[in-house]
Chain A
Amino acid sequence: MTAAAVVTGIGVVAPNGLGADDYWDATTRGRGGLRAITRFDASAYPIRVAGEIPGFAATEHLPSRLIPQTDRMTQLALVAAEQALADSGVDPAAQPEFAVGAVTASSSGGTEFGQNELTKLMVRGGNHVSAYHSFAWFYAANTGQISIRHGLRGPSGVIVADEAGGLDALAQARRNIRRGGAVMVTGGVDASVWPWGLVSQSAHGLTSGADDVDRAYLPFDARAGGYVPGEGGALLVVEPADAARARGARVYGELAGYAATFDPKPGTGREPGLRRAIELALADAALTPGDVDVVFADAAADLELDGREAAAINAVFGPRGVPVTAPKTMTGRLQCGAAPLDVAAALLAIRDGLIPPTTNVSPESRYELDLVVAQARPARVGAALVLARGHRGFNSAMVVRAVA
């Protein structure tokens, strides 16, 4: 018998809301956080609109000692982790020493910290580079700093698989719980709205060069012209269902099913791996397509990639067979933070019986999707499917469901 892994705490740092309540309020009202980039002069860059978290001042949230040694992604992650633990009511200090762990995903590492220190190295010399550069830009910095701050000494790690990694991290946390870990802090927070982080993404050719924030990111729309990057994500507290029940915790839902697949080599003509990921995740959750009440799409906003995603969804659920949404139109794609934030949204949709909308989009009819657009749709949500794709072939799917 394997323990069911349930979510008991949610922490959110998103362009349209700091904290789960603010994020969910904005998201269900269709209030987006995309804006012309303000943190640096982006006028000469191929990306000028992004999902920035406005007015975030790390010094208002974190001890002074942590500021010089952390990239913005870690500062945001520490805020999300603190929120999630507080929301769950779990006190790591009251748990056995090795019972609480952290698994996060990362896509870029600390691009702002890294760029700034490499600039010092090249302009002013090696003795001007911060000693904290030795770890602050690492993929594992978020997991490490969360663990140190909260005294987490249980099973820990970091997963790097572009956006799909956000679900892979949650799945790894679920494995750790099944192996007997008590509590996991898990999810992903990235922050690459900084020149190095943005040019790294624009090099794929999949980002939006638009200047109009309402037209910049239009997945499943005939006008789709690439995605808008954003910063932020979500961290969750996950624990065994029986332990959560025993301590009377509020349970948002269960991480019920998961699968990851990889696409065939380009040019082979073979089907991409997303449909198989969906089917395997449903099988893992012991659910049928008819049990799923909403799909949170990956939403690349690229004509070819949108078509592939719609084909995978329709192959499993049938044309217009299930409500589909992409609230990331309000945040941009948050790299590894995107899917954990979608999982948080799915859990809140279960709680409130409300599917958040895909904003700004006029659905392209040839995709044959029941896309929830314009405004939130009331619906009983017992189970939700979250999809995430990473650049160059990663596919992950996760099913979350209500716990009776």
Chain B
Amino acid sequence: MEQQEFTLADLARILLDAAGAVEGAAFDEGIVDAELEQLGYDSLAILETGSRIEREYGITLDDGVLVDARTPRAVIEVVNAHLAARAA
């Protein structure tokens, strides 16, 4: 099975649907290491985003794995690791 890649643009799109946009900041490379909570996304926003990623990509993220991934970069890495594991 070909491995999909989960990108910052994918995260931005899903986060926007799940929890709305951050006020006054573009969700781009400049915030890839910012803490999601500092950007205005609380634990429920992360939970909802994780649920949508699971549905769209057909993966299962363990409870808490996204809560521990505190930045966009960390979330992308976690999701890509799951996609790689599935493709292997």
Contact = CB atoms under 8 A, between A and B. Distances in A.
Main secondary structure on B side of the interface with A: helix
Range, interface on chain A: 10 to 19
A303 to B, nearest CB: 48
Most A-side CB within 10 Å, residue of B17, B23, B48: B48
Contacts of B23: 63-65
Given A130-B48, A131-B51, A132-B48, A68 B21 contact: no
Contacts of A65: 19-23, 40, 45
B20 A131 contact: no
B55 A127 contact: yes
B55 A67 contact: no
Contacts, number: 36
- Main SS of chain A's interface residues? helix
Contact of B44 (A64, A66, A67, A132): A132
A63 B16 CA distance: 12
B55 A68 contact: no
A128 B55 contact: yes
Interface of B: 16-23, 40, 44-45, 47-48, 51, 54-55
Counting from the closest, the 9 A-B pairs by CB-CB distance are: A64-B20, A131-B48, A65-B20, A64-B21, A131-B47, A131-B44, A67-B20, A68-B20, A68-B19
A16 interface: no
Given A63-B20, A64-B20, A65-B23, 20 more contacts: A63-B23, A64-B16, A64-B21, A64-B23, A65-B19, A65-B20, A65-B40, A65-B45, A66-B20, A67-B20, A68-B20, A68-B48, A69-B19, A69-B44, A127-B51, A127-B55, A131-B44, A131-B51, A132-B44, A134-B44
Contacts of A68: 17-20, 48
A64 B45 CA distance: 13
Contacts of B22: 65
17 contacts: A64-B23, A65-B21, A65-B22, A65-B23, A65-B40, A65-B45, A68-B18, A68-B20, A69-B19, A69-B20, A69-B44, A127-B54, A128-B55, A130-B48, A131-B45, A131-B47, A132-B44
Contacts of A69: 19-20, 44
